[in-house]
Each structure stands twice: as structure tokens, then as C-alpha cells.
Structure 1
Amino acid sequence: MARAGLTTERLVRAGAELADEVGFGQVTVSALARRFDVKVASLYSHLKNSQDLRTRIALLALEELADRAADALAGRAGRDALIAFADVYRDYAREHPGRYAAARLRLDPEAAAASAGGRHAQMTRAILRGYDLTEPDQTHAVRLLGSVFHGYVGLELAGGFSHSAPDPQETWEWILDRLDATLRDWPPA
């Protein structure tokens, strides 16, 4: 019988909070059991194992990011949409570093199909339609944006920009300006 009050959703949310506190790599069923002061075995009626827990945290993070991005993009186009989208990723990573790391987890095909990853791709492509890119350039641009956003955020979270000028916010804005210019001036296929 499952312990009263424990549900899969509650455990996944607690796992996401734990990821933000101690790092995604430290999240295990054992660590979660300690958080709830229960035996590990009592969680196995809700979770298969630690990989299942991490996958569920990744799915939660992708959903949260997609919801934030959709809200930020509403009514925006072109440069404004690009900046709003980029800022969602950066802000989410700063607020929820463990969940952000979870969102980068490579998912198996079944989990990936059930994830909000498709929503992220659709929103990115919607932004790029404002720049009038066609295939395969649109796919190249999707990869460019993902690389820049995740690369910068990863370096920033690791403290890579904390000891030098200019301010990381200034660099972020400069990068987004350059991305906008690159997308506007993209050579025709």
C-alpha cells in the first residue's frame, strides 16, 4: 500500500526542487526517500527507479519551459520574440538550475515523443518564420539558436563570466542583437 500523501506528481515535484538545491546529478530515489523520511521501497509504487525519476523531472522541466515560452511569445514577432524566447531560457536556468539541467537530459524515443520538446521546436520555428528562412536554413538557425542559448547559459551557470567585464547582461544583450542581425541578413538559399 502506498504511503498516504505520496503521489507520483508530488514526488516528481519534490525531485525537481531537490535538483534545484543539490544538482540534477544528485537526484536519486534514495535522496528523495530521505527528503520524505520514508523507506526507499515505499517510493517504488510510484517510481520505477532513479532514471524514471530523472526522466519525469526532465518532462516537467520541458513542460514548464514550454509554458513560459508560450506566454512570453504571445503577441510578439521578430526581434522581440527572439529576445523573449531567449530570456525565458536564461531566466529559467537561473531560477531552476537543476530543472534546467534536467531539460537537457537525452530522453528515450518514447519519453521524447511525450515531452514538450515538440512545442519548443514549434515555437523556435515560429520565431524564425518572422525572419523568412526556408529549409534547410531554418533547421540550421534552430541549431544555431539552441547552441548559443544553451552554451551561454551553461557557461554563465558555471561561473564563467563572473570575474570579468563587461557585465554578463550586457554581453547577453549584445549576443541577442547579433543573432537578430544574423537572422535578418541571412543569405538567401
Structure 2
Amino acid sequence: MPKYKLYYFPLKGRGEIIRLLFAYANVEYEDVRIPFDEWPTKKNDFPFKQLPVLDVDGKRYSQSHAIERFLAREFSLVGKNSSTLAKADEFGEAMQDVMMKLPWTEKDEETKERLMKQALTETIPPALEIIENNFTNGDYYAGELTFTDIGFASCADHLLSLDSSVLDGTPKLKALFERIWAIPSIASWVKKRPKTAM
């Protein structure tokens, strides 16, 4: 069994999908959370000077989506064929489009609050409805459980923390979130994971 070590900041962010994949697979890893005040002195130790980074037996991999796909292959979460994987990737990319509608980089708090409300009430719900309308393969977007169903659940978790009604207009997506969150190993991780603002 490989020895895994995940480096990320002390928050959920782009590292949480990776942690959820480990939780689903019941695979042990070292969850290294680098405090923000220590990051400037440590960033040069990492290939792209950014996180997350996954260390596998001393070999390091960067970029969150590359790490997710690597673990998906390791944990048999890429689907039974290339068509399933293409649908899974479609779902993942569509959710990235949704998440990018949030005002991540806005510094002014008043402007950020206005843009956040606009995103959650005007731009994100129609984008989720489009995904909902393309959700035609049963319980999971690609017809079987893949890594992007778990990735979606992580994104939905964040959206729901901002607006508890955000999935009310998309019952298939809401049911998928609840289905993923009810997987025993994932439910256990969510219950015990460190509490962070994001």
C-alpha cells in the first residue's frame, strides 16, 4: 500500500475533495495542514509553489484536479469505460463553472456581499438547473458512482453553507448530495473533520 501525504492549508477549499476521496476509499493518509503564516517560508519546497500537493511514496503531484483524477484511478472511481469517464468529467467541469460564479477574489466586503447574494440567487440556480436537466443516468450523473459525484458533494456542501436552500430547485442534485453524504465512510469523515470557515 502506498504511503500518502496530502499538503494543504487549514481549510476545506481545494483539498477537501481529495480528503473525501480518501475517506470514501477508507485509505489512510497524512493530512498535513500548513498554517498561512508559515506558507511564505515553505512555498519554495513545492513544485508549483502552491497547494494542494500529494506525496505518494516520496513522489509529489500538484494541481488539485490532477490529484483527484490520480486518486480516482487508484480507487476505481473513473467508471467502467471512456464514455462513463467523459460524462464524469463533464459533471466535474460543469460544477467548476458553477463554483467560479462565486466572488472568490473580491476584497471589498460590501461589494463581495452584494456579488455573493447575486450569485446565489441569480446566476448559480440557473446553472444548477442546466446540470439537473442533463442528469439522466439514474442515481449518479454518469450512471455509476465516480469521483465527480463526490466532488459535486464537496462543492454542494460549500454552497449549502452559504445558502441552505440553494439545491431546493434541483431535486436530483439534492438527492445526490444526500446520497454521497450518507456513505458511511464519508459521513464519518464529515463528522470528525476539523471545523473551518471554508
The structure whose residues are more often helix, as a share, is 1
Shared fold, TM over 0.5? no
Q: Rg larger in 1 or in 2?
A: 1
The structure whose residues are more often strand, as a share, is 2
TM range (shorter): 0.3 to 0.5
Q: TM-score, normalised by structure 2?
A: 0.31
Q: TM-score, normalised by structure 1?
A: 0.32
